Structure 1
């Protein structure tokens, strides 16, 4: 009887059919739905797992889903465009119909389209909002990467559409005369700008197709025009011999004199180019031979300092796109009006 009861109990227990496989629980197992849908970032968008590789042999187009209508929320798409030939570049041209979620504090945090240079990982630009379509972008090699991100809130329309095409690179050596000015690093561009002797020649170099319009825009009056200027005073009356002798002494003594200074270094503005790049300012210089006896270190220092304004051309890279923003601006530089000798130490002490 005992044996019969054990057999009946075993038959009543639930069993697994031969070859059956247990399904993992959703959100917990390695193959569950949560993992397949992608991990969440802090801003609520999916972390991209793959990129779609597109072989580029001719012109083509990529766009946000549902373009020109509102794109879906919570989406990440990545395209890598690879040209068939290795010695070509890829050019991206954005459709004028462009609109993504607006930035916050001028930063595209939520919905954006981003273009990256795969050769060095640099980001050529990130765009959002609907003010204007981004400008043309050109790869450094035969590949370029595009990323589109939308979070789980506020989708916009129409999204974006990018037309891509193949362009032939410049075959000559890379130099300021070959590359367009907007493609040069700031240090190289600064060296090229300083070589021009007139403003017209400089603007013609920067914008060969619309230099006349740019030149007119620079001198068009606006509410931002400061109009500060100064004129060096000149003595008009004659001087006697003793005064002439005194002026000759001043040539070697501690007096204000002309110095050429770099505007970028003076203002510590390495992100901006100025033309002309150097200006003459009055700075104290000369010896202090007539200093007090017993002074071991006598220095020529300014006793009266003023700021004077100089109107110059300012060139700044545009945010997010290639190109230069050109404007006339006034820079304030220190001028030493009066100088004097000051003892910094005592002899023998």
Structure 2
């Protein structure tokens, strides 16, 4: 069953059937959340959260809830979530979110899940361009004045935080009066933790054979290797910034058939197997509150889960086999 919901200032909630009792088996529900143009959607999960546990490999295959967002330029998926850990707060990049709940034919649990949705407003970039000159990296007074005067553009803030090396430095500069509380708030959230898979190569006990190494170079020049990606560019989002700004991912690289006559022409190194992997980062988006006199915006940092594509295997695609 699929339902379309128009998000208003009053907000609302979604929940698994029979919440807080056991949800039924063989259920597939989908909610399309739409908000007015120029707004965003905030999802906050209730602390009562319990679905069927994940598979042995950590994947949520059986009963799960997932949030998805698709725009003209990008597609972002949060989750899927299962088990007992409460999902993190989700802040959309646009005015459209899709929440899906699925349960299989086997086990069901209580209480299931409940998620609250609400409306967020954000400023157009032109409204905050005048603040660019007021931002000085490492100056608490400048950062504080800027946040009081109005919201920084995402590009301005992205450049400002580029000089920070730790989360503490980030919070101490942007929120000098409340940085300790902000740290406790962020790290006190219940969230999913991601543990990457480690692939260990067996040690070679035999003496190194230089001919063998030469053959390995020719055979494995096109291999997955660490590649630094800028998260805003990778996710194609302009209304949010991340800390850290860049992450390492495995991407195919290197030439094809190094040492041959056509070692770097006629062939392209490309992925033959790709896997999306979950990464946990700090995400900032403007949070605006309305009152009778004016509109106030404050810094809002949350732990967020993002998916990045990693290349596990690579191959050389050639117009004709290299000699």
TM-score (norm 1): 0.45
TM-score (norm 2): 0.49
Computing the radius of gyration over CA atoms, which structure comes out larger, 1 or 2? 1
